[in-house]
Amino acid sequence: MNKMVLWLGLLLFLLADTGYSFVQHFNMPLDGDLSCVVLPDGMYQHIWDDPLGWNTISSQQPTITPNRFFAHYATKTWFRSVPFFLQRFMSPIDSLYATAALAKTLIQILILLLLSAYAHLHQKPESRNFLPLAALIVPIFQTSILSGIMGIIDHSITYTFFYALPLGLLLLLFWPIYRSLVLGQTVLSGWISKIVWLGLALVLAFSGPLIPGVSLVISAFLLAYFTIKNRVPSHSWVAALQRTVKEPQAPYLVFFAALCLYSYYLGSFDPQTPLDGPNLLERYGLLAKGLGAMLSLKPGLSILIAAVLANWYLLHRNKQNADHQSLLRALRWIGVFILVYLLLLPWGGYREYRPNIIRNDTAGPILVALFYFWGRSTAFLLATKNTIRPQTYRWAIVAVLLYFTLADEPKFGENDCERKALNTLAQAGTEP
């Protein structure tokens, strides 16, 4: 009975938090890029004429966002269909805001469920609980004052389609590979699943601006992991590489990496990076400034990192335990990934609207990794009997979750002025 009450309480908490996020998103203004993408504006027409960039490659001419066809396609298709369905129940203006809010909420749910599923795989069969994992992660999603620092779901709906949605789909793409590594099962069984996976790989390679670089890093990490694992004393590095090629996950990683390499090359034709902007060394300085601002201006990200480090400390005290070692090894890989990602980020160029190189959108892969480790390590420590002062630890976790819940304070009415302007236009008539 008590267990059922707990599960019901967790489910209600998840539903309430998600519903609250929807209301917040519903009250956010639309962004100026939306109409250009949905119409589409003449500036983006070439993307529809040349979705995979063959003409750009052959002509060697500068082209705006030539490798993001599917992000444009998703945004355009969503806003050309969903508002008309919603207009059966609400006004045309409300339908626009509801369409944006629904997309943001569904993308948040997608990322939340996948992060919980990734962490869920590592729980012991007798203690596998999905809802507590999701409940540990969901308050960390921020829409209010911390969104500019650690908001995976951006205020801008177009940025949500170009950054958060591809990250969610990337988690989905790597899910069968990750599952096969953890459980030792077949990567993909059956031709239908293989075709769906290959199609998703193609979609992702031509989606968000971060995906090619992030995917190449992850693929390289996994192939390096296989090579190190296969490097036993009796084998040379050449033999280890030969064994790595035969790993069941390797063909999928190589195929996806090849697509991302092509997409990365295609993206080099984008002329939006100013030629007279900061040089590479100056960009690293701006990156350091941006990281400092994210950690110091508002305490959200610093609190999350402190919580992750506290979990690391508790795990490190029992590092001889195999389960503890697995978590510590995961954090090491996450740390290396974050370091490599940050070192590569300035190579992506400079944008005037992102003066410090990093903010919540470009920090998305880092945030996803931290969210994952927070959920997995906290759930493990809560279920571990040898945690130091377990009651104190539980109250500390409650305090962290309460902080993030309260920090996501209501921001209603953010689009009031925009709504009034749209209403004025709607009532203006068609007189010349």
**Alpha-helical segments (H) within 123-274:** 130-137, 147-150, 157-159, 165-183, 191-205, 211-230, 237-245, 250-267
Quick one: pLDDT at residue 276? 66
Quick one: pLDDT at residue 2? 75
Distances (CA, A) of 234 to 149, 229, 237, 239: 48, 12, 10, 9
Q: Token pair of 246, please?
A: 């035969």
Quick one: pLDDT at residue 258? 95
Point out the residues of the chain with pLDDT beneath 50.
none
Distances (CA, A) of 21 to 36, 97, 340: 26, 13, 32
Please state whether 429 falls in left (phi above 0), alpha (psi between -120 and 50) or beta.
left
Contacts of 122 (CB under 8 A, 6+ apart): 182, 326, 327, 376, 380
- State how far the Cα of 365 lies from the Cα of 337, in Å rounded to an integer: 9
Quick one: pLDDT at residue 73? 95
pTM: 0.93
Helices vs strands, H then E, count in the chain? 21, 0
Side-chain-facing half-sphere of 213: CA atoms under 13 Å = 22
Quick one: pLDDT at residue 429? 59
Residue-wise pLDDT for 264-273, tens only, equals 999 888 887 6
Would you kindly state where each structural domain of the chain is located, as residue ranges? 278-411
- State how far the Cα of 204 lies from the Cα of 1, in Å rounded to an integer: 45
Residue-wise pLDDT for 134-163, tens only, equals 999 999 999 988 998 999 999 999 999 999
- State how far the Cα of 120 lies from the Cα of 372, in Å rounded to an integer: 10
Residue-wise pLDDT for 389-427, tens only, equals 788 899 999 999 999 999 998 888 888 898 888 888 888
